[in-house]
Structure 1
Amino acid sequence: MDKIQDVSVEPMTKSNFVHPYRMHYKQNGRKKIWDLVMQHESVAIIIYNTDIKKMIFVRQFRPAVYFSNVRQVDPDCKSVDTTKFPGDSGFTLELCAGIHDKDQSLLHDAKDEVLEECGYDVPLEKFEKVITYRSGVGVTGDLATLFYVEVTNDMKLASGGGLEDEGEMIDVVEMSIPEVRALLQKDQVPSPGGFLFGIMWFLQNKAPKE
Protein backbone atom coordinates (compact mmCIF):
# COMPACT_ATOMS: atom_id res chain seq x y z
CA MET A 1 0.00 0.00 0.00
CA ASP A 2 2.91 2.37 0.64
CA LYS A 3 4.34 2.14 -2.89
CA ILE A 4 3.38 5.30 -4.78
CA GLN A 5 4.35 5.62 -8.46
CA ASP A 6 3.72 7.63 -11.65
CA VAL A 7 2.70 10.88 -9.95
CA SER A 8 1.74 13.95 -12.01
CA VAL A 9 -0.44 17.00 -11.35
CA GLU A 10 -2.82 18.85 -13.68
CA PRO A 11 -5.45 21.60 -13.33
CA MET A 12 -8.88 20.32 -12.29
CA THR A 13 -11.78 21.17 -14.58
CA LYS A 14 -14.53 18.86 -13.29
CA SER A 15 -15.08 16.78 -10.16
CA ASN A 16 -17.87 14.84 -8.45
CA PHE A 17 -16.44 15.73 -5.05
CA VAL A 18 -15.21 19.34 -5.03
CA HIS A 19 -16.32 22.46 -6.88
CA PRO A 20 -13.99 25.48 -7.08
CA TYR A 21 -15.43 29.01 -7.18
CA ARG A 22 -14.22 32.60 -7.13
CA MET A 23 -16.39 34.78 -4.89
CA HIS A 24 -16.64 38.53 -5.47
CA TYR A 25 -18.05 40.62 -2.62
CA LYS A 26 -17.87 43.86 -0.69
CA GLN A 27 -16.93 44.12 2.96
CA ASN A 28 -17.54 47.50 4.60
CA GLY A 29 -17.68 48.98 1.11
CA ARG A 30 -14.35 47.48 0.02
CA LYS A 31 -14.34 45.13 -2.97
CA LYS A 32 -12.81 41.72 -2.28
CA ILE A 33 -12.19 38.41 -4.06
CA TRP A 34 -11.83 34.99 -2.44
CA ASP A 35 -11.19 31.60 -4.03
CA LEU A 36 -13.06 28.77 -2.37
CA VAL A 37 -14.04 25.14 -2.81
CA MET A 38 -17.40 23.56 -2.02
CA GLN A 39 -17.43 19.92 -1.00
CA HIS A 40 -19.67 17.33 0.66
CA GLU A 41 -20.64 17.38 4.31
CA SER A 42 -18.87 14.63 6.25
CA VAL A 43 -18.88 12.46 9.36
CA ALA A 44 -16.06 11.24 11.58
CA ILE A 45 -16.18 8.70 14.39
CA ILE A 46 -14.16 8.35 17.58
CA ILE A 47 -14.00 4.59 18.17
CA TYR A 48 -13.00 2.86 21.41
CA ASN A 49 -12.82 -0.92 21.75
CA THR A 50 -13.75 -1.68 25.36
CA ASP A 51 -12.52 -5.30 25.16
CA ILE A 52 -8.94 -4.52 24.18
CA LYS A 53 -9.01 -1.00 25.67
CA LYS A 54 -7.73 0.65 22.51
CA MET A 55 -8.80 3.48 20.24
CA ILE A 56 -9.37 2.53 16.62
CA PHE A 57 -7.98 4.79 13.88
CA VAL A 58 -7.31 4.56 10.16
CA ARG A 59 -4.16 5.15 8.17
CA GLN A 60 -4.32 6.04 4.48
CA PHE A 61 -2.55 7.83 1.66
CA ARG A 62 -3.69 11.43 1.15
CA PRO A 63 -2.58 12.94 -2.19
CA ALA A 64 -2.97 16.52 -0.92
CA VAL A 65 -0.64 15.84 2.01
CA TYR A 66 1.85 14.08 -0.26
CA PHE A 67 1.87 16.89 -2.82
CA SER A 68 2.15 19.52 -0.08
CA ASN A 69 5.30 17.79 1.17
CA VAL A 70 6.65 17.64 -2.38
CA ARG A 71 5.95 21.35 -2.94
CA GLN A 72 7.87 22.29 0.20
CA VAL A 73 10.99 20.95 -1.51
CA ASP A 74 10.12 21.62 -5.17
CA PRO A 75 7.55 24.47 -5.50
CA ASP A 76 7.30 24.18 -9.30
CA CYS A 77 6.95 20.41 -9.41
CA LYS A 78 4.70 19.01 -12.14
CA SER A 79 5.97 15.43 -12.43
CA VAL A 80 7.09 13.81 -9.18
CA ASP A 81 10.18 11.65 -8.87
CA THR A 82 8.89 9.00 -6.44
CA THR A 83 12.40 7.72 -5.73
CA LYS A 84 13.12 11.17 -4.31
CA PHE A 85 9.70 11.55 -2.69
CA PRO A 86 8.56 8.17 -1.31
CA GLY A 87 4.87 7.59 -0.70
CA ASP A 88 5.14 7.34 3.09
CA SER A 89 5.26 11.13 3.34
CA GLY A 90 1.62 11.20 2.21
CA PHE A 91 0.17 8.84 4.80
CA THR A 92 -1.95 10.19 7.62
CA LEU A 93 -3.41 8.88 10.88
CA GLU A 94 -7.09 9.81 11.16
CA LEU A 95 -10.44 9.06 12.69
CA CYS A 96 -12.70 6.75 10.73
CA ALA A 97 -14.62 9.13 8.46
CA GLY A 98 -16.49 9.61 5.21
CA ILE A 99 -18.48 12.03 3.11
CA HIS A 100 -22.25 12.47 3.25
CA ASP A 101 -23.23 11.69 -0.34
CA LYS A 102 -26.07 9.17 0.11
CA ASP A 103 -29.78 9.69 0.67
CA GLN A 104 -29.63 8.73 4.35
CA SER A 105 -28.94 10.28 7.76
CA LEU A 106 -25.52 11.25 9.06
CA LEU A 107 -25.97 8.58 11.72
CA HIS A 108 -26.36 5.90 9.05
CA ASP A 109 -23.27 7.33 7.31
CA ALA A 110 -21.31 6.90 10.54
CA LYS A 111 -22.48 3.28 10.95
CA ASP A 112 -21.54 2.48 7.34
CA GLU A 113 -18.07 4.01 7.65
CA VAL A 114 -17.25 2.09 10.85
CA LEU A 115 -18.13 -1.17 9.09
CA GLU A 116 -16.44 -0.35 5.78
CA GLU A 117 -13.23 1.12 7.16
CA CYS A 118 -12.77 -0.70 10.48
CA GLY A 119 -14.90 -3.86 10.17
CA TYR A 120 -17.24 -3.31 13.15
CA ASP A 121 -21.01 -3.71 12.71
CA VAL A 122 -22.42 -1.41 15.39
CA PRO A 123 -26.11 -0.81 16.20
CA LEU A 124 -27.27 2.73 15.49
CA GLU A 125 -28.28 3.32 19.11
CA LYS A 126 -24.66 2.89 20.24
CA PHE A 127 -23.56 6.07 18.46
CA GLU A 128 -23.37 9.33 20.39
CA LYS A 129 -23.20 12.65 18.60
CA VAL A 130 -20.37 14.84 19.90
CA ILE A 131 -20.51 18.02 17.84
CA THR A 132 -20.98 19.49 14.36
CA TYR A 133 -18.32 21.95 13.23
CA ARG A 134 -16.72 23.52 10.16
CA SER A 135 -13.86 21.31 9.06
CA GLY A 136 -12.40 24.10 6.94
CA VAL A 137 -12.94 27.87 6.89
CA GLY A 138 -10.20 29.26 4.65
CA VAL A 139 -10.84 27.46 1.37
CA THR A 140 -13.81 25.23 2.27
CA GLY A 141 -16.76 25.89 4.57
CA ASP A 142 -18.04 22.34 4.82
CA LEU A 143 -19.77 20.86 7.84
CA ALA A 144 -18.42 17.83 9.68
CA THR A 145 -20.28 15.90 12.37
CA LEU A 146 -18.31 13.98 14.99
CA PHE A 147 -19.70 10.84 16.65
CA TYR A 148 -18.43 8.62 19.45
CA VAL A 149 -18.99 4.87 19.65
CA GLU A 150 -17.76 2.03 21.84
CA VAL A 151 -17.21 -1.33 20.14
CA THR A 152 -16.49 -4.87 21.30
CA ASN A 153 -14.65 -7.74 19.68
CA ASP A 154 -17.89 -9.59 18.87
CA MET A 155 -18.96 -6.65 16.68
CA LYS A 156 -15.92 -7.22 14.46
CA LEU A 157 -17.29 -8.87 11.31
CA ALA A 158 -14.60 -7.96 8.79
CA SER A 159 -11.05 -6.69 8.53
CA GLY A 160 -12.12 -3.25 7.29
CA GLY A 161 -9.89 -1.41 4.88
CA GLY A 162 -12.55 0.50 2.96
CA LEU A 163 -14.50 -0.31 -0.19
CA GLU A 164 -12.33 -2.07 -2.76
CA ASP A 165 -14.64 -1.11 -5.64
CA GLU A 166 -14.07 2.56 -4.77
CA GLY A 167 -10.31 2.08 -4.69
CA GLU A 168 -9.99 2.61 -0.94
CA MET A 169 -6.84 1.28 0.72
CA ILE A 170 -7.03 1.78 4.47
CA ASP A 171 -5.07 0.29 7.36
CA VAL A 172 -6.83 -0.11 10.70
CA VAL A 173 -4.65 1.14 13.57
CA GLU A 174 -5.22 0.21 17.22
CA MET A 175 -3.62 2.41 19.89
CA SER A 176 -3.69 2.14 23.67
CA ILE A 177 -4.47 5.21 25.74
CA PRO A 178 -0.81 5.62 26.78
CA GLU A 179 0.17 5.48 23.09
CA VAL A 180 -2.45 8.12 22.26
CA ARG A 181 -1.19 10.38 25.05
CA ALA A 182 2.37 9.96 23.76
CA LEU A 183 1.21 10.89 20.26
CA LEU A 184 -0.16 14.19 21.57
CA GLN A 185 3.25 15.03 23.01
CA LYS A 186 4.96 14.94 19.61
CA ASP A 187 6.10 18.13 17.92
CA GLN A 188 4.38 17.16 14.66
CA VAL A 189 1.79 14.54 13.75
CA PRO A 190 0.52 13.43 10.30
CA SER A 191 -3.11 14.11 11.23
CA PRO A 192 -5.85 16.72 10.73
CA GLY A 193 -7.14 19.00 13.48
CA GLY A 194 -10.41 17.10 13.82
CA PHE A 195 -8.44 13.98 14.75
CA LEU A 196 -6.58 15.82 17.50
CA PHE A 197 -9.80 17.34 18.84
CA GLY A 198 -11.48 13.94 18.77
CA ILE A 199 -8.86 12.15 20.82
CA MET A 200 -8.56 15.02 23.31
CA TRP A 201 -12.37 14.95 23.71
CA PHE A 202 -12.17 11.21 24.32
CA LEU A 203 -9.37 11.53 26.88
CA GLN A 204 -11.32 14.20 28.77
CA ASN A 205 -14.79 12.68 28.59
CA LYS A 206 -14.68 8.93 27.96
CA ALA A 207 -11.28 7.40 28.67
CA PRO A 208 -11.20 4.94 31.57
CA LYS A 209 -9.30 6.21 34.57
CA GLU A 210 -5.78 4.85 34.58
Structure 2
Amino acid sequence: MRETKVNIEKTEILSENWYTLKKVTFNIKKENGETETQSREAYDRGNGAVILLYNTTSKNVILTRQFRLPTYINGNSTGMLIEACAGLLDNDNPEDCIKRETVEETGYKISKVEKIFEAYMSPGSVTEILHFFIAEYSDDMKINDGGGLEEEGENIEVLELEFNKTLSMIDNGEIKDAKTIMLLQHLRLKNIL
Protein backbone atom coordinates (compact mmCIF):
# COMPACT_ATOMS: atom_id res chain seq x y z
CA MET A 1 0.00 0.00 0.00
CA ARG A 2 1.28 3.43 -0.94
CA GLU A 3 2.10 5.73 1.97
CA THR A 4 0.47 9.15 1.80
CA LYS A 5 2.37 12.10 3.21
CA VAL A 6 0.05 14.88 4.30
CA ASN A 7 0.80 18.06 6.22
CA ILE A 8 -2.20 20.08 7.39
CA GLU A 9 -1.42 23.79 7.05
CA LYS A 10 -4.66 25.38 8.25
CA THR A 11 -8.10 24.40 9.53
CA GLU A 12 -10.99 26.88 9.51
CA ILE A 13 -14.39 26.28 11.12
CA LEU A 14 -17.04 27.29 8.56
CA SER A 15 -20.06 26.25 10.63
CA GLU A 16 -20.89 24.68 13.97
CA ASN A 17 -24.63 25.09 13.58
CA TRP A 18 -25.76 21.44 13.50
CA TYR A 19 -22.44 19.62 13.31
CA THR A 20 -18.99 20.95 12.31
CA LEU A 21 -18.05 21.99 8.80
CA LYS A 22 -14.31 22.60 8.39
CA LYS A 23 -12.20 23.93 5.55
CA VAL A 24 -8.79 22.24 5.64
CA THR A 25 -5.78 23.43 3.65
CA PHE A 26 -3.06 20.79 3.37
CA ASN A 27 0.04 19.76 1.46
CA ILE A 28 0.11 16.29 -0.04
CA LYS A 29 3.08 14.57 -1.59
CA LYS A 30 2.18 13.00 -4.93
CA GLU A 31 3.62 9.76 -6.36
CA ASN A 32 6.04 11.69 -8.57
CA GLY A 33 7.55 13.34 -5.49
CA GLU A 34 5.99 16.77 -6.01
CA THR A 35 4.08 18.44 -3.19
CA GLU A 36 0.72 19.96 -3.98
CA THR A 37 -1.40 22.29 -1.81
CA GLN A 38 -5.08 21.48 -1.73
CA SER A 39 -8.10 22.79 0.13
CA ARG A 40 -11.17 20.68 0.98
CA GLU A 41 -14.25 20.96 3.15
CA ALA A 42 -15.08 18.14 5.59
CA TYR A 43 -18.31 17.73 7.51
CA ASP A 44 -17.84 16.15 10.94
CA ARG A 45 -21.09 14.80 12.32
CA GLY A 46 -19.59 12.06 14.45
CA ASN A 47 -19.58 8.33 13.78
CA GLY A 48 -22.66 6.16 13.64
CA ALA A 49 -24.15 2.70 13.69
CA VAL A 50 -26.83 0.99 11.62
CA ILE A 51 -28.71 -2.28 12.04
CA LEU A 52 -30.97 -4.53 10.03
CA LEU A 53 -33.40 -6.61 12.09
CA TYR A 54 -34.48 -9.87 10.48
CA ASN A 55 -36.77 -12.75 11.36
CA THR A 56 -35.83 -16.20 10.00
CA THR A 57 -39.33 -17.63 10.62
CA SER A 58 -41.41 -14.97 8.87
CA LYS A 59 -38.61 -13.96 6.43
CA ASN A 60 -39.33 -10.33 7.31
CA VAL A 61 -37.08 -7.38 8.08
CA ILE A 62 -37.71 -4.20 10.05
CA LEU A 63 -37.07 -0.90 8.26
CA THR A 64 -38.09 2.68 8.97
CA ARG A 65 -39.46 5.54 6.89
CA GLN A 66 -38.83 9.18 7.71
CA PHE A 67 -38.41 12.60 6.13
CA ARG A 68 -34.85 13.43 5.00
CA LEU A 69 -34.39 17.05 3.94
CA PRO A 70 -31.24 16.50 1.82
CA THR A 71 -33.11 13.96 -0.33
CA TYR A 72 -35.99 16.39 -0.75
CA ILE A 73 -33.62 19.14 -1.86
CA ASN A 74 -32.06 16.68 -4.32
CA GLY A 75 -35.26 15.68 -6.11
CA ASN A 76 -37.03 13.21 -3.80
CA SER A 77 -40.51 14.77 -4.18
CA THR A 78 -41.80 13.57 -0.79
CA GLY A 79 -38.50 13.64 1.09
CA MET A 80 -39.44 10.31 2.67
CA LEU A 81 -36.74 7.65 2.76
CA ILE A 82 -36.92 3.97 3.69
CA GLU A 83 -33.92 3.04 5.81
CA ALA A 84 -32.46 0.58 8.27
CA CYS A 85 -32.47 1.81 11.87
CA ALA A 86 -29.42 4.02 12.51
CA GLY A 87 -28.03 6.70 14.76
CA LEU A 88 -24.98 8.61 15.89
CA LEU A 89 -22.77 7.09 18.57
CA ASP A 90 -23.08 10.11 20.89
CA ASN A 91 -20.06 8.95 22.95
CA ASP A 92 -21.41 5.38 23.24
CA ASN A 93 -19.64 2.36 21.84
CA PRO A 94 -21.25 1.18 18.58
CA GLU A 95 -23.04 -1.83 20.11
CA ASP A 96 -24.64 0.17 22.93
CA CYS A 97 -25.60 2.90 20.48
CA ILE A 98 -27.37 0.58 18.08
CA LYS A 99 -29.24 -1.21 20.85
CA ARG A 100 -30.48 2.19 22.13
CA GLU A 101 -31.44 3.37 18.65
CA THR A 102 -33.27 0.10 17.93
CA VAL A 103 -35.58 0.60 20.92
CA GLU A 104 -36.11 4.30 20.17
CA GLU A 105 -36.79 3.91 16.45
CA THR A 106 -38.37 0.45 16.07
CA GLY A 107 -39.64 -0.45 19.55
CA TYR A 108 -37.72 -3.75 19.59
CA LYS A 109 -35.40 -4.50 22.51
CA ILE A 110 -32.59 -6.71 21.24
CA SER A 111 -29.81 -8.16 23.34
CA LYS A 112 -27.60 -9.90 20.78
CA VAL A 113 -26.21 -8.09 17.74
CA GLU A 114 -23.64 -9.16 15.14
CA LYS A 115 -21.22 -6.59 13.79
CA ILE A 116 -20.53 -7.33 10.14
CA PHE A 117 -18.30 -4.47 8.95
CA GLU A 118 -17.50 -0.74 9.02
CA ALA A 119 -17.67 1.65 6.07
CA TYR A 120 -17.19 5.28 5.15
CA MET A 121 -20.40 6.33 3.39
CA SER A 122 -19.34 9.58 1.72
CA PRO A 123 -15.55 9.85 2.19
CA GLY A 124 -15.12 12.78 -0.17
CA SER A 125 -16.84 15.16 2.22
CA VAL A 126 -18.06 13.49 5.44
CA THR A 127 -15.77 12.14 8.19
CA GLU A 128 -18.31 9.61 9.54
CA ILE A 129 -17.51 5.92 9.70
CA LEU A 130 -20.57 3.71 10.07
CA HIS A 131 -20.63 0.46 12.09
CA PHE A 132 -22.94 -2.11 10.44
CA PHE A 133 -24.90 -4.66 12.49
CA ILE A 134 -27.54 -7.31 11.97
CA ALA A 135 -29.75 -8.96 14.60
CA GLU A 136 -32.55 -11.46 14.69
CA TYR A 137 -35.83 -10.23 16.15
CA SER A 138 -39.08 -11.84 17.26
CA ASP A 139 -42.50 -10.45 18.16
CA ASP A 140 -41.88 -10.91 21.89
CA MET A 141 -39.00 -8.40 21.70
CA LYS A 142 -41.42 -5.57 20.85
CA ILE A 143 -41.66 -3.36 23.95
CA ASN A 144 -43.12 -0.15 22.45
CA ASP A 145 -44.25 1.39 19.16
CA GLY A 146 -40.89 2.98 18.33
CA GLY A 147 -41.07 6.08 16.16
CA GLY A 148 -38.04 7.91 17.53
CA LEU A 149 -37.67 10.64 20.10
CA GLU A 150 -39.99 13.63 19.94
CA GLU A 151 -37.34 15.89 21.50
CA GLU A 152 -35.04 15.06 18.58
CA GLY A 153 -37.77 15.93 16.07
CA GLU A 154 -38.08 12.32 14.95
CA ASN A 155 -41.30 11.10 13.36
CA ILE A 156 -40.37 7.59 12.24
CA GLU A 157 -42.70 5.02 10.72
CA VAL A 158 -41.76 1.41 11.48
CA LEU A 159 -42.10 -0.99 8.54
CA GLU A 160 -42.13 -4.79 8.74
CA LEU A 161 -41.52 -6.01 5.20
CA GLU A 162 -40.99 -9.35 3.51
CA PHE A 163 -37.29 -9.69 2.69
CA ASN A 164 -37.85 -10.58 -0.99
CA LYS A 165 -40.09 -7.53 -1.36
CA THR A 166 -37.27 -5.28 -0.11
CA LEU A 167 -35.00 -6.62 -2.86
CA SER A 168 -37.69 -5.67 -5.41
CA MET A 169 -37.95 -2.25 -3.74
CA ILE A 170 -34.24 -1.72 -4.40
CA ASP A 171 -34.75 -2.67 -8.06
CA ASN A 172 -37.70 -0.32 -8.54
CA GLY A 173 -36.15 2.60 -6.66
CA GLU A 174 -38.36 2.57 -3.56
CA ILE A 175 -35.27 1.89 -1.41
CA LYS A 176 -32.42 4.28 -2.29
CA ASP A 177 -30.53 4.47 1.00
CA ALA A 178 -27.00 3.08 0.61
CA LYS A 179 -26.60 1.67 4.11
CA THR A 180 -29.93 -0.14 3.83
CA ILE A 181 -29.08 -1.58 0.43
CA MET A 182 -25.72 -2.79 1.77
CA LEU A 183 -27.39 -4.57 4.71
CA LEU A 184 -30.11 -6.16 2.60
CA GLN A 185 -27.52 -7.38 0.11
CA HIS A 186 -25.45 -8.78 3.00
CA LEU A 187 -28.41 -10.91 4.11
CA ARG A 188 -28.90 -12.03 0.52
CA LEU A 189 -25.24 -12.90 -0.09
CA LYS A 190 -24.97 -14.82 3.19
CA ASN A 191 -28.28 -16.64 2.54
CA ILE A 192 -29.56 -15.58 5.95
CA LEU A 193 -33.13 -15.21 4.69
Structure 2-normalised TM-score?
Answer: 0.83
For 1:149 and 1:108, the matched residues in 2 are separated by: 13
Q: Which moved more, 1:152-161 or 1:104-113?
A: 104-113
Q: Which residue of 2 aligns with 1:182?
A: 168
Q: Which residue of 2 aligns with 1:43?
A: 49
C-alpha deviations, 1:91-140, integer Å up to 9, x for none? 101110000113x32111111111110011111xx100010111221111
Paired residue type of 1:121: K
1:79-158 pair list within 5 angstroms: 89-102=78-91, 104-123=92-111, 126-158=112-144
- Give the share of equivalent positions with the same residue, in percent: 25
Q: Which residue of 2 aligns with 1:202?
A: 187
In structure 2, list runs of 5 or more residues that go unmatched.
1-13
For 1:142 and 1:117, the matched residues in 2 are separated by: 21
For 1:117 and 1:109, the matched residues in 2 are separated by: 12
Partner secondary structure for residue 135 of structure 2: strand
Partner secondary structure for residue 154 of structure 1: helix
1:153-172 pair list within 5 angstroms: 153-172=139-158
For 1:185 and 1:191, the matched residues in 2 are separated by: 9
Cα RMSD (Å): 1.8
Paired residue type of 2:178: G
Q: 1:108 to 1:128 in 2, by over 3 A?
A: same
For 1:101 and 1:136, the matched residues in 2 are separated by: 20
Q: Which residue of 1 aligns with 2:27?
A: 26
For 2:153 and 2:78, the matched residues in 1 are separated by: 20
The answer to which structure has the higher strand fraction is: 2
Partner secondary structure for residue 139 of structure 1: coil
Match of 1:54 among 60, 74, 83: 60
In structure 1, list runs of 5 or more residues that go unmatched.
1-11, 71-87
Q: Would the aligned equivalents of 1:49 and 1:151 in 2 still touch at CA under 8 Å?
A: yes
Q: Would the aligned equivalents of 2:83 and 2:180 in 1 still touch at CA under 8 Å?
A: yes
Paired residues, number = 175
For 1:100 and 1:175, the matched residues in 2 are separated by: 26
For 2:22 and 2:158, the matched residues in 1 are separated by: 35
Q: Would the aligned equivalents of 1:46 and 1:202 in 2 still touch at CA under 8 Å?
A: no
Paired residue type of 2:42: L
The answer to which structure has the higher helix fraction is: 1
Structure 1-normalised TM-score?
Answer: 0.77
Q: Which residue of 1 aligns with 2:5?
A: none
Deviation at 1:13, TM superposition (A): 4.0
Partner secondary structure for residue 103 of structure 2: helix
Partner secondary structure for residue 42 of structure 2: strand
Partner secondary structure for residue 160 of structure 1: coil
Q: Would the aligned equivalents of 1:183 and 1:189 in 2 still touch at CA under 8 Å?
A: yes
